[in-house]
Amino acid sequence: MMTRPILHRLRLSVLALGLSASMAHAGKIEIEVSPGGPGIEGTLFSDSKLFADAFRTIIVEKKLAAGGNSGRWGKLRSDVHSATVSRMTYSYSRNGRTFTRTYHARSGPAMEVVLARNKLIGVDGNAVSGTSGTSGTSGSESEGSRPYSMSEEDIAKDFSERKYYPADTPTDIRVRNLAPVDDGIVRSSGKEAAIHSADAELKIFRQIEKDVAEGAVEAGGTLTGYVSKAVCPSCTAAAENLAEEYGIDGTIHQLVEPGAEVGLADDTLLQSKEASTQLKLARKDYARTNLQRNAVTAPEEGGWLETKAVQSIEAEEAARSLAQPCGE
């Protein structure tokens, strides 16, 4: 007859064997150039609107709309509409059932950091008095479009800003800024990797790693992702590490902005750049309409586009593509 200690050790051994078996499969995440289409552009635009609406909400709550000047507000709009957005859905099996969790991320620092750099909020978190004229930072360069290394202060501020986004659920979460752990697979080592630590893709990979470690999701799943810009080498390497360590397979579909080089020159790349341009114009128009000095209003309450709706759009686009005669 087995004693309780023996049974306990046996269960631990079985669990260890199960984990070893699940990790034995080295996964692979492909990163592909997407030709775009209404579904992909609409999905990324839907997410980008909610990130822009979070800025609207914090501006209204903290009474910041009268601060700054036209130049600083132009820079803020550029920061908002230029930041990379990414949406990735992770499917995994647990106890014979399939579950999904969708991750939503924006590149760059916490909103309060962005607002402070545009002189719209002070170090004390309060509004800064407005100034007239157009002097100040121009709107030609975007914080959201260039590399950024996260600080501890930024991580703390971003955590406190979770109330400005749709509430997290078991199936949809807004990925907050996380510090890389020393023994983590998705970490920012070296100067080049460190300045990309706030990239939307890296944020999601780091969150998936955290969720696997905490048991929120299982390893060995499938990842389907969409990114509004070309994936950088640091994020590509992180995707490879994530796939190999946790046995994750999948595909990340990237839109390629005009001027970016991805080692591909065909019709798909041209279509991707056109889709990127259309998405950029839509995001720019939304920011211009909703982020004007002295005219910011609180948005209506919204939620992330449901995964089923995205899958339906993808299926319709695939069907249309198959139905087109050759050469069209």
Pair type for strands 97-106 and 85-94 = antiparallel
Provide the pLDDT for residue 5: 40
Q: What is the pLDDT of residues 291-300, one digit of tens each?
A: 999 999 999 9
Query: Percent of the chain beyond pLDDT 70?
Result: 73
Q: What is the pLDDT of residue 38?
A: 86
141 three-class SS: coil
DSSP 95: T
Identify the band that residue 152 occupies on the pLDDT scale cut at 50, 70 and 90. Answer: confident
Instruction: Note whether residue 318 is domain-resident.
Output: no
For residues 321-326, give the mean pLDDT.
52
Q: Which pLDDT value is given to residue 17?
A: 44
25 Cβ partners below 8 Å, 6+ apart? 220, 247
Q: Which amino acid is at 242?
A: L
Q: How far apart are CA 59 and CA 287, in angstroms?
A: 13
Place of tokens 């990239």: 199
Q: pLDDT tens digits, residue range 9-46?
A: 443 343 334 444 445 578 999 999 999 988 899 999 99
CA distance 106 to 265: 28
Look at residues 3, 155, 137 and name the one whose alpha carbon lies nearest to residue 72.
137
What pLDDT band is residue 305 in, cutting at 50, 70 and 90? confident
Tell whether 150 is covered by a domain: yes
Q: In which band, very low, low, confident or very high, does the pLDDT at 187 lie, cut at 50, 70 and 90?
A: low
144 has pLDDT over 60: no
**Which tops the pLDDT comparison, 5 or 18?**
18
3-state helix, strand, coil in the chain (%, to 5): 45, 15, 40
Burial class (CB in 10 A: 0-12, 13-18, 19+), 152: exposed
- Residue-wise pLDDT for 214-270, tens only, equals 999 999 999 999 999 999 988 999 999 999 999 999 999 999 999 887 776 688 999
Residue 51 domain boundaries? 26-127+139-301
Q: Write out the two tokens for 150.
A: 């996260």
Q: Residue 196 in contact with residue 235, Cβ under 8 Å? A: yes
Residue 198 lies in a domain: yes
pLDDT interval class at 311 (50, 70, 90):
low
Residue 87 lies in a domain: yes
- Single-letter amino acid, residue 103: Y
Q: What is the token pair recorded at 8?
A: 């306990």
- Res 317: pLDDT: 53
Count the helices and strands in the chain (H runs, E runs).
10, 6
- Please report whether residue 77 resides in a domain: yes
pLDDT band at 135 (very low <50, low <70, confident <90, very high): very low
Is residue 262 a contact partner of residue 33, using CB atoms and an 8 Å limit?
Answer: yes
Q: Which residues contact 169 (CB under 8 A, 6 or more apart)?
A: none
pLDDT of residue 294: 96
- Is residue 193 within 8 Å of residue 234, measured between CB atoms? yes
Q: Which residues of 281-297 are buried (b: 16+ CB within 10 A; e: fewer)?
A: ebbeebbeebbebeebe
Mean of pLDDT values over 290-313 = 83
Position of tokens 């948005």? 299
Query: Would 8 be classed as within a structural domain?
Result: no
Give the whole-angstrom CA distance, residue 279 versus residue 299: 21
Q: What is the tally of structural domains in the chain?
A: 1
* Domain annotation covers residue 308: no
Strand partners, 31: 252
What is the residue-averaged pLDDT of the chain? 82
Tens digits of per-residue pLDDT, 51-92? 999 999 999 999 999 999 999 999 999 999 999 999 999 999
Higher confidence at residue 324 or residue 207? 207
Structural domain includes residue 321: no
Could you give the CA distance from residue 241 to residue 29 in angstroms, rounded to a whole number? 9
Local confidence band at 312 (pLDDT 50, 70, 90 cut-offs): low
Asked whether residue 129 carries a pLDDT value surpassing 60, the answer given is yes
How high is the pLDDT of residue 10? 41
Q: Which residues contact 59 (CB under 8 A, 6 or more apart)?
A: 65, 115, 120, 291, 296
Are 250 and 225 contacting, i.e. CB atoms less than 8 angstroms apart? yes
